[in-house]
Chain A
């Protein structure tokens, strides 16, 4: 092959060399050996709670290499997937309003609301929906359209929320009055507690957590301490390359073999044990924890983020007088059981039949990081 042009971007170069090293087949196979030794025949039902982990495990082919006793469960780690029907109904309702421009990350465009219609349909019928890559782009939109209200759809976990907080502070600084945020953000640790408190945890235990790498860059380790302390479940923060994930699995299996349960950071190149205090301070300045609705799981106390009183004018709920409507659950959709790791996607009666990426019933089939979409795309040929 001809020599490839070298990149003028040194950060990319370093990161790609590292990435290549962490995909090295020899390294991965020696980690697989270490994992088999640590398992020593025992099972390991681990759950990841990050859509990027879900995709990486499938995309790298790692799933096809894991020892038989390792059971991979995908938890509520895809921000699109955990968005509740009522929340979807609320932003679809907004999309139809005069004088409103919705600014959103691309993933949300295809999520169907209770009537089966999505923002894509709304857009085709004239709703003004703009895909942005950063919440700050929504401020540019607001400045360009002073006569309209730009509503940013605040979806995501602790990783995304600080940049939304920074955006709100910037809007305040610039005196932008036609910008607000529909905060549907979710917090990971309360969801993990809810999973462990679920009655089904007795019959089908989650035996270890692969903790989300991105979210942990913000949180650090302390917010997960209860997993080991109160529930005696090993939990490992892992990176996203195959070797990262395998190392995390080894550390889980070794804890279980030794009867230990600890929260361990195996992604030290990106995650500081103390997290990112500046980002947390930003979060705390703009938001306060509030109860939130999770798709398929329901209300989880203090698992969402609402804007503080001082930022009421940036709060779409208050500014536009929004309510989350009562919506009936989708008939037949087992998203909740899938999100809780109690069913694999192919065990849902709708999977691959009524529910496909072309005609998604639930958001787990929509988002590229949703577990149903991942199964459909990468593993339809698996006998699950």
Chain B
């Protein structure tokens, strides 16, 4: 096998087959994929009468590898989490690779190994895929698209429209790690030595949340589940406040932020509440369910730092207001674009 990807590998001929079998099949092997048909046949049990949730996402990130993850972990976790946020119990993923000619084969192999490991941990199988190779310069090293599908665990399903005044706002852990890690890796900010991406699958945590709600006799009462990826916690909460026509009051003191992220942000003039997360979810539930759900989150590996961070209100619909550490208050609005480090 050549040591870097040539255009031939996207030709559909033997070179393509070699790449698929020596890289992707080797890492992703499972009976559904191994049939190598044009599509995957998914076994569906007749006991399922709930709708299917489906989500697709494309992944581009520079650099491809960063502390705590890679484009491969993101491609699995991101889609698993998107389906999970709707209450979908995801089991199957498709994946499509767009590869820039000349990408070292070792790099692709490492990405595939990361995807396979992430899929194993999340309990999902990659069952169908596609490979394209484009000329140098036509894409940046490697783009990956994944689609996930899974039956709803519960109905009515959580939705950004269902936040109600009086509900409690919970977050599954500390925010800002991923966004700052990527910025640090991309720009070679050597002082950010101790931040790492939180890239993680949340389907286990979401199942635990539903199980806890069901045990409490309130199965359909998980009002909102959202993963605050791009734009961070602040942007996602603004979207929820708008969709549900409510206000959200947050307590700054209660929002978990790792100290290294806080210091790094303070130095660069960034706000961790607007930085991307790849392994966190926001959960909005009735007050009576708050402690139960919080305890359920904390009992899972990726929810140990879960915290209650605020309350949904009725007045000033669409606004997110932050009660600051010193007891003042201010708007937590939406940003226009990405945050850029300041001049001085």
Residues of A within 8 A of B (CB): 1-2, 4-5, 7-9, 12-13, 15-16, 19, 23-25, 28-29, 51-52, 55, 58-65, 79-80, 105-107, 109-110, 131, 133, 155-157, 159-160, 214-215, 242, 356-358, 367-369, 376-381
Contact = CB atoms under 8 A, between A and B. Distances in A.
Contacts of A5: 194, 258, 260
A53 B342 CA distance: 13
A131 B286 CA distance: 45
Given A5-B194, A7-B259, A16-B259, A25 B326 contact: yes
B271 interface: yes
Nearest to B187: A133
Interface residues of B, number: 41
B341 interface: yes
B258 to A, nearest CB: 6
Contacts of B269: 52, 55, 368-369
B344 A7 contact: no
A380 B329 contact: no
Contacts of A358: 336
A156 B344 contact: yes
B216 to A, nearest CB: 23
Given A7-B194, A7-B260, A9-B193, A378 B330 contact: yes
A343 to B, nearest CB: 21
Contacts of A109: 340
Contact of A79 (B191, B263, B319, B344): B344
Contact of B343 (A12, A80, A242): A80
Interface of B is mostly: loop
Contacts of A52: 269, 342, 344
Contact of B305 (A2, A28, A215, A380): A2
18 contacts: A1-B305, A2-B304, A13-B259, A16-B263, A23-B326, A28-B327, A52-B344, A58-B330, A59-B271, A63-B330, A65-B327, A107-B341, A160-B343, A214-B344, A242-B325, A356-B336, A357-B336, A368-B340
Given A1-B256, A61-B329, 20 more contacts: A4-B259, A5-B258, A7-B194, A9-B193, A9-B260, A9-B263, A12-B260, A16-B262, A25-B325, A28-B327, A60-B328, A62-B326, A64-B329, A107-B341, A107-B342, A133-B187, A133-B341, A157-B344, A377-B333, A379-B330
Interface in B233-265: 256, 258-260, 262-263
Nearest to B324: A61
B280 to A, nearest CB: 14
Contacts of A64: 328-330
Nearest to A55: B269
B317 to A, nearest CB: 12
B189 interface: yes
Q: Which 3 A-B pairs have the closest CB atoms?
A: A61-B328, A61-B324, A106-B340
A378 to B, nearest CB: 5
